[in-house]
Structure 1
Amino acid sequence: MAAKSVASPAPAVDEVCQERSIHVEHVAEIRRNVLPGSDALRIATLFSVLSDPTRLQVMHALLSAPTGELCVCDLATGLGRDDTTISHQLRVLRQQKVVAMRKVGRIVYYRLVDEHIRQLLRMGIDHIYEGQSLGGNVISEVVQ
């Protein structure tokens, strides 16, 4: 059976240049500041890890935790998920250096690894709720 090729829709006329023109100074600046492929891959991997709704709920719970850290049981119960699901998601987040853990006896506590991760999450929340309000407060204020 022959494979069907799916053509992507053509861009709208107002989305592309109407005349082919190279701005030498812009090209030179792009080349001076190009993001190396290995760095682009690492950033893409980080964003792909953040693309899972369950992982984002885990991260948000950790961001909102009064002490900044939570154990698997509290995360699972609070999110209405089973321990296995949450443990798996935490393992993925830990492998990508998004969360860190500490063990106290038989209990394992997780926290967001640093302020960069907290800022990424807050910026994502701010972006999706931009201009919306919740009971008179801008939603982004709730998370901070």
Structure 2
Amino acid sequence: MAAKSVVSPANISAIDEICQERVIHVEHVAAIRHNGLPVDDALRIATLFSVLSDPTRLQVMHALLSSPTGELCVCDLAAGLGRDDTTISHQLRVLRQQKVVTMRKVGRVVYYRLVDEHIRHLLRMGIDHTAEGQISGSAVDREVAQ
């Protein structure tokens, strides 16, 4: 009896990931060309995801998302996250430059909030996705591989 071939990331070569034919589904190619994401849009989205790739920024965003008022001042964020004001201010500046958070100043206190529901939804989706064990390298993936 022949042994079953098991496909795993370890035994997939680069050639296995490339079609051996040039075009199989002409209608799919036409749809991609017609509906494709323009390069400028792709760059803006990539920049947004790049900004979201920093763990400290994600912790700041999560704190803002979880705040009962939807906003927090820099000093409360820093104290709550166990970081110094300078670190948190820097991360908030990056988030503000990319239009992820907005700020308002009351006297000497600066309050930040997530800019809109799109950002809140994106963060919630990321949290839900990782909680389900969908990220490669997660504990669930390691269990399945064993």
Displacement of 1:19 in angstroms is 4.4
Q: Does 1:49 align with 2:57?
A: no
Q: Does 1:78 align with 2:80?
A: yes
Q: How far does the alpha carbon of each residue in 1:102-132 deviate from its partner, in whole angstroms, 9 at most, with x for none?
A: 0111100000000000000000000001169
Equivalent residue number for residue 3 of structure 1? none
Q: Does 1:109 align with 2:114?
A: no
Aligned residue type for 1:103 = K
Partner of 2:48, secondary structure, is helix
Equivalent residue number for residue 11 of structure 1? 14
Query: For residues 107 and 114 of structure 1, what CA distance do their matches in structure 2 show?
Result: 22
Q: Does 1:96 align with 2:104?
A: no
Equivalent residue number for residue 69 of structure 1? 71
Query: For residues 79 and 120 of structure 1, what CA distance do their matches in structure 2 show?
Result: 21
Unaligned ranges ≥5, structure 2: 1-11, 135-146
When the two structures are aligned, how many residues end up with a matched partner? 123
Task: Using the aligned pairs only, state the percent identity.
Answer: 85
More helix by percentage: 2
Displacement of 1:85 in angstroms is 0.1
Q: How far does the alpha carbon of each residue in 1:80-121 deviate from its partner, in whole angstroms, 9 at most, with x for none?
A: 000000000000000000000001111000000000000000
Query: For residues 73 and 18 of structure 1, what CA distance do their matches in structure 2 show?
Result: 58
Which of 61-70 and 16-25 deviates more? 16-25
Q: TM-score, normalised by structure 1?
A: 0.80
Runs of 4+ in 1 over 4 A off after TM superposition: none
